[in-house]
Amino acid sequence: MQTDNSKNIAIIDYNMGNVFSLMSACKKIGHNAFVTNEKDQITKADIILLPGVGAFADAMKNIQKLKLDELIVEQVNKGKPLIGICLGMQLLLNESNEFGKTRGLGLIEGQVLPLPKQTDNGELIRIPHLGWSKISNMLDQASTKIIKHIHNNNFQYFAHSFYAKVENKNDILALSSYRGFEFASAIKKDNIIGFQFHPEKSGPQGLELLSSAINSFHLKVPKTEQNL
């Protein structure tokens, strides 16, 4: 259902990630989404969606091959809103330590590390983290204004073996925990948002969250509430 608020959303196609579901989700919440890796279309889009499932190194390889890394960074630096999902969020960071060091897009300071395989008590943690976990907002009033619905009862679907260790606490939008291990489940910096979970697979509350995230890019946050 498209309305006047419909955005044109370019879902980056670099051969990794469930682009069909993302497209369906965007359409369901009233936006015009298309799957592409063409410079023209990406440049013209209102918002870039960076999906991803699989290995960090393979993803960067594919992205670099298509020269999408330069394009994405350029677009983001020009102020284009971007949402990274799952591996797509992890790619935003500086580097990953999966099978040796691989450089990421470097848009948010931090690195990608493996989830622990044991709790502090030595109990087994089953990896990948596959399932629904709550996302809790940081005690950041501004962020909750920007993205509604991040509150303490919001379950989202996760499917990952690595997590984002973000350098700057201010870049963390939401936290989740898996078997007692806490990690950043949503990150935000300027015009970039990252979700470790899959909002497009988290039922109605996922769609709400995705919708809010997309709409948040056009919310002007007053200067007084901006610094923390």
Partner 1 sequence: MTKRIVARIDIKGPNLVKGIHLEGLRVLGEPHEFASHHFASGADELIYMDVVASLFGRNSFDHIISDTCKDVFIPLTVGGGIRTLKDIERVLKFGADKVAINTAAVNNPGFVKEAASAFGSSTIVVAIESIKTGPSEYLAFTDCGREHTGLNVVEWAKKIEEQGAGEILLTSVDREGTGEGLDQELIKLISDATSIPIIAHGGIGKKEHVKEAFEINDQIGAIAMASCIHYEHVLSNQKLKKNEQEGNDDYLQNRRVNKKITPFSLADLKCYLQKNNIKVPSSLKEYTQYAN
Nearest of 25, 53, 22, 54 to residue 36 by alpha carbon: 22
| Closer CB to partner 1, 151 or 218, in the complex | 151
Distance (Å, rounded) from C-alpha 150 to C-alpha 154?
Answer: 6
Q: How far is the CB of 191 from partner 1 (least distance, A)?
A: 25
Q: How far is the CB of 88 from partner 1 (least distance, A)?
A: 13
CA distance readout (Å), 38 to 10, 72, 180: 10, 11, 42
Q: How far is the CB of 39 from partner 1 (least distance, A)?
A: 23
Nearest of 222, 186, 218 to residue 80 by alpha carbon: 218
Spatial contact of 90 and 164, defined as CB atoms under 8 Å apart: yes
Q: Where are the beta strands (DSSP E) in 146-226?
A: 154-160, 162-166, 172-178, 181-189, 192-195
| Closer CB to partner 1, 29 or 72, in the complex | 29
| Closer CB to partner 1, 32 or 205, in the complex | 205
Task: Indicate which residues carry an active-site annotation.
Answer: 86, 198, 200
Q: How far is the CB of 4 from partner 1 (least distance, A)?
A: 18
Pair of tokens at residue 189: 């910096």
Secondary structure percentages of the chain, helix, strand, coil, to 5: 30, 30, 40
Positions that interact with partner 1 (CB under 8 A): 18, 20-21, 24-25, 27-29, 53-55, 87, 117, 124, 126-128, 130-134, 153, 155, 157, 159-161, 178-179, 198, 200-208
Q: How far is the CB of 157 from partner 1 (least distance, A)?
A: 6
| Closer CB to partner 1, 76 or 174, in the complex | 174
One-letter amino acid at 172 equals I
| Closer CB to partner 1, 19 or 193, in the complex | 19
Place of tokens 């023209």: 40
Pair of tokens at residue 124: 């087994």
